[in-house]
Amino acid sequence: METIKASLRDSQIARWIALLLISTTMFFAYFFVDVVAPFQTEMEKIYKWTPEVFGMLGGSEFFLNVFAFFLILSGVILDKMGIRFTLITAGITMVLGAFIKFYALTDAFAASNLANSLGSFWTVVPSSAKLAFLGFAIFGVGVEMAGITVSKTIVKWFKGKEMALAMGLEMAIARLGVFAVFRLSPIFGSAENGGPSNAVYMGLAFLSIGFITFFIYTFMDRALDKQTGDTGTSPEDEFKISDLGKIITNPGFLAIASLCVLFYSAIFPFQKFATDMLASKLNVSIIDAAAYFSYFPIGAMILTPIIGYFLDVKGKGATMMIFGAILLTISHLLFALIPAESFSATVAILIIVVLGTAFSLVPASMWPSIPKIVEDRYLGSAYGLIFWIQNIGLLAVPILIGWALSASNPGVSEQISAGVEGVKYNYTVTELIFAGFGVLAFILSFVLKAVDRKHGYGLDLPNKK
């Protein structure tokens, strides 16, 4: 017991330094996730990417995680190999995938034999998109592996302490990357700076810095394990593949996983199309529209740590998810139904901030709830499995939105690709789809409350002991 009291995790300074290091990497990762989001129309003009292709790019991030089960494998690797090995693997994978995506958008690739080879099949999709899909899929393996590892790392340092606050701060720092990308990417990717490929290059450079911060953290992790005598899992607690069955038959896990996929399907795919939606509805430039949308994570950045602190000392995690689902639905309905003549920049920013508030309520409540539902020995696999289920939605929904956008705007894609000025997409149908996910999330949040009451997980109880 004396060893535990003297360990690094009992030092507030050490705990928060560890959190800062891993959160910095996630800041750069979130930046790269949406680095081309402001360029939907530009990608159509320069690279001949239709909305369907652009949606496929968003979905490709999750392809290997879903169909090759890399996310579940990532969780098993985390529980088997430990935090340090998994963080380094995740960092290398993110940088490799980012480089491939960058190369796909360069003139060097366009002139290569590889581009010609890729162009010989699936001809409706440009060669640049096919290689970008591959790069983003590899990046997606790394970023989701990093996400589940960061979650388990925070539990390691903060369980029984300020765990929800720490998770809230990590999410706030990561979402600062969303603010940064919608402010900086249109500038990095402007015509005078070389176009979208330069924005992707800057994202690659940032990710390389993020890999370094992950690497630095591993020294703290090793020191903590040495102090506590933790060499991983003991033989009797070692993770077994059969434990996956225990996770997926856990009613609390199933309720949270279902809520997770619905909620995130109305958030992350929306980010891919939000800039062009705002530019079309407000009749403003991409730079201005991206600047407006950059306010989206502000509410989450400010409120998530506050909500995390409240959950630590007061609880009410399951209740928070209900309010988050309500705000999510209202936000998308307003985007869909407010007429263009009444849709000003002020109105747009207000709705965006409300949506950001929803984005703070649900994740801040959801992720600290997982350790209350599953045992520590397969916590990494539980995070991996819930991220895998989430990724199914994140793979399918951008493709659905891209298809719905084209189907509800016949002829628009062809005109934009041909360089016709002043042609814009109408996003009413796509916003109603997002609102539908919010309605379903609202229903699932009540199901979660009922499951919590029946099984006594304590989701509405404080995290801090």
204: in domain? yes
Q: CA-CA distance, 49 to 47, in Å (whole number)? A: 6
The CATH number that applies at residue 78 is: 1.20.1250.20
Cα separations in angstroms, 353 against 203, 292, 331, 341: 25, 10, 9, 21
Residue 464 in domain? no
The structural domain count of the chain equals: 1
Q: Is residue 304 part of a domain?
A: yes
pLDDT in tens, 238-291: 556 667 788 888 898 999 999 989 999 999 999 999 999 999 999 999 899 999
- The residues, ordered by sequence, that sit 6+ positions from 445 with a Cβ below 8 Å of its Cβ are 259, 318, 321, 322, 324, 325
Host domain of residue 60: 2-231+240-455
On whether residue 461 sits in a domain, the answer given is no
Q: What is the pLDDT along the chain (465 residues), one digit of tens a residue?
A: 344 456 788 888 999 999 999 999 999 999 999 999 999 989 998 999 999 999 999 999 999 988 988 888 888 888 888 999 999 999 999 999 999 999 999 999 999 999 999 998 888 899 999 999 999 999 999 999 999 899 889 989 988 788 878 888 898 899 899 899 999 999 999 988 889 999 999 999 999 999 999 999 999 999 998 888 765 544 444 556 667 788 888 898 999 999 989 999 999 999 999 999 999 999 999 899 999 999 888 877 777 778 777 877 887 888 888 999 999 999 999 999 999 889 999 999 999 989 988 887 877 777 778 888 887 777 777 877 888 888 899 999 999 999 999 999 999 988 988 888 888 999 999 999 999 999 999 999 999 999 989 988 888 888 666
Residue 303 lies in a domain: yes
Q: 355-379: buried (b, 16+ CB within 10 Å) or exposed (e) per residue? A: bbbbbbbbbbbbbbbbbbbbeebbb
CA angle at 353 for the pair 342 and 346, rounded to the nearest 5°: 30
11 part of a folded domain: yes
pLDDT, tens only, 286-340: 899 999 999 888 877 777 778 777 877 887 888 888 999 999 999 999 999 999 8
Specify if 460 maps to a domain: no
Asked whether 296 and 356 are in contact (CB, 8 A), the reply is yes
Measure the CA angle with vertex 439, ends 404 and 39; round to 5°. Answer: 40
Within a domain: 402: yes
